[in-house]
Each structure stands twice: as structure tokens, then as C-alpha cells.
């Protein structure tokens, strides 16, 4: 039974991957815009002419932001989108179908997240020297952990009675608030801001990217627990009917 579920989920995940990669707007905002922002920042600070410091130190916030964008506007938003389009109502009619769908969604966007991570690395590493396979593998592992954290948060939004527009607005506000609070905390020593940022997942994600797992062991274990529990909760409580449905 488990092997059949995984096989069905894998086939469905491949369809989701092809669907996502055909979205040029998503590709622009999640990949091209962070790369452009990185090089604009590099030029403004003179990194291009005289690179100093560690690559991961300069890109930690970008990797954290990309992981949050894929989790929120990819993994979580498309669950809402498929519910609102009637896909879930038409095909996800029992617990077995829920398991197949959620697993397929998780597999598809895990692959997509890694692809985006690798693309960003290939696009931004040259100013800091030669590529390193070991470095890339280390970054992917940190990046993927951050991605799972934001999936754990975003998946609960998918349980709310949201439509396309409301979900997009909510995710945008949430993402922007995390970014502003995190960046403000990096440049300010205000006690209130520091206290607020203790609960800022984007700040913790950036710290994990920059410092690695050794200094974030508890955070990493908590992330894995949250992701696993959120998937189980979603399988049980996944909303079937679209918001616009009267039936």
C-alpha cells in the first residue's frame, strides 16, 4: 500500500513540477529578482571590484528569502489554488487521495526548491571565486531545512477559508513583514525589535544559512518536527470545498 501511494505521488509530483516550471512569472520573482537584487547590492557596496568576506555571509539573507518565497508562494499557495480551482474537490475525495496529493505536493516543491537554490548559487558564486561542490551541498542542506520551516508555517494558511486573492495578499503581507522586521533587527539594537525578532522565522533561517547546523541544532530538530506534524494535520483537515462553493 505504501509503495503504491508513493508511486502515485511521484507521478503526480512530476506533473506539478512541469506545471510550475512553465510559470515564467514565478520564475522571475523567485529566481531572477533575488539574483538582480544581489548584484545591485554588490555593485552599490563595491563587492564586484574587491570581494571580501565569505560567500555564505553575503548571501544568507537571499537564500532565506528564496526558501520562504518557494514555500509560501509555491508549496502553500498552490494547495489553495488547486482547492479554489475545484481540483481538490474533484479528485481528493478520501484519505488515500489526500495522502497522495499532499505527498506529491511535498515532493514536487522539494525538487523545485533545490533547483532554485542551485540556480541562485550558480548565478551568484562567480564574484567570490570558483564553484565548490561541497559548499553547494552544504548550502542545499541548510536551504532545504529553512524551506521546510516555511512550509510548516505556510501549510496552516492553506487550512483557512481563503481564496486566490486573499491568500496572495496574506502571504505578501506576511513575507514583507518578516523581511522588514529581520532587516531592521540587523541594523538596530532596540530591545523591543530584538524581542519581536525572537519569533521571526526569516531571521532564524538566515542565521542557519550563515552559521550552519552546529549552532542551530534545536532549531533544526524543531523544524523537522513541525514539518512532519503539519503534513499529518493537513492530511486530516485538508479543506475540500472551494470558498466559492455553496454545496
Rounded Cα–Cα distance for residues 173 and 96 (Å)? 34
Residue 162 phi/psi, 5-degree rounding, is: -110, 145
Average pLDDT of the chain, as a whole number: 84
pLDDT of residue 240: 81
Rounded Cα–Cα distance for residues 247 and 241 (Å)? 8
Higher pLDDT, 150 or 219: 150
Give the closest residue to 153 by CA, choosing from 240, 75, 236, 41: 75
pLDDT of residue 215: 74
Q: Report how far apart, in Å, the C-alpha atoms of 66 and of each of 3, 31, 43, 94 are.
A: 32, 8, 21, 33
Q: What would the pLDDT profile of 189-246 be if each residue is shown by its tens digit?
A: 777 777 887 888 998 899 999 988 887 788 888 899 999 999 889 888 888 877 766 5
What mean pLDDT comes out for the span 158-170?
87
Asked if residue 238 lies in contact with residue 98, where contact means CB atoms within 8 angstroms, the answer is yes
Exposed / middle / buried, residue 117 (Cβ in 10 Å: 0-12, 13-18, 19+): buried
What mean pLDDT comes out for the span 19-45?
74
Q: What would the pLDDT profile of 38-91 be if each residue is shown by its tens digit?
A: 888 777 766 555 555 688 988 898 999 999 989 998 899 889 988 888 888 888
- Residues with Cβ within 8 Å of 188's Cβ and at least 6 positions away in sequence, in order, are none
Higher pLDDT, 240 or 1: 240
Query: In the numeric block, which cell numbers belong to residue 247?
Result: 454545496
The residue length of the chain stands at 247
Exposed / middle / buried, residue 131 (Cβ in 10 Å: 0-12, 13-18, 19+): exposed
Higher pLDDT, 118 or 40: 118
pLDDT of residue 227: 93
Amino acid at each position: 500500500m505504501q509503495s503504491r501511494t508513493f508511486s502515485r505521488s511521484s507521478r503526480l509530483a512530476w506533473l506539478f513540477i512541469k506545471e510550475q516550471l512553465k510559470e515564467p512569472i514565478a520564475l522571475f520573482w523567485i529566481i531572477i529578482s533575488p539574483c538582480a537584487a544581489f548584484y545591485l547590492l554588490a555593485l552599490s557596496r563595491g563587492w564586484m571590484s574587491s570581494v571580501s568576506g565569505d560567500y555564505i555571509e553575503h548571501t544568507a539573507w537571499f537564500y532565506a528569502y528564496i526558501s520562504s518565497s518557494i514555500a509560501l508562494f509555491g508549496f502553500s499557495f498552490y494547495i489553495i489554488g488547486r482547492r479554489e480551482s475545484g481540483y481538490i474537490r474533484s479528485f481528493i475525495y478520501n484519505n488515500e487521495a489526500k495522502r497522495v496529493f499532499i505527498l506529491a505536493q511535498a515532493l514536487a516543491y522539494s525538487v523545485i526548491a533545490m533547483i532554485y537554490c542551485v540556480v541562485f548559487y550558480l548565478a551568484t558564486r562567480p564574484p567570490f571565486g570558483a564553484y565548490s561542490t561541497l559548499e553547494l551541498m552544504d548550502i542545499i542542506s541548510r536551504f532545504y531545512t529553512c524551506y521546510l520551516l516555511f512550509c510548516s508555517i505556510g501549510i496552516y494558511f492553506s487550512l483557512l477559508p481563503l481564496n486566490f486573492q486573499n491568500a496572495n495578499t496574506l502571504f505578501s503581507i506576511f513575507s514583507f513583514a518578516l523581511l522588514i522586521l529581520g532587516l531592521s533587527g540587523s541594523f538596530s539594537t532596540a530591545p523591543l525589535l530584538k524581542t519581536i525578532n525572537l519569533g521571526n522565522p526569516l531571521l532564524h533561517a538566515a542565521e542557519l544559512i550563515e552559521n550552519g547546523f552546529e549552532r542551530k541544532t534545536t532549531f533544526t530538530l524543531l523544524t523537522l518536527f513541525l514539518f512532519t506534524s503539519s503534513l499529518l494535520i493537513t492530511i486530516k483537515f485538508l479543506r475540500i470545498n472551494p470558498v466559492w462553493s455553496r454545496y
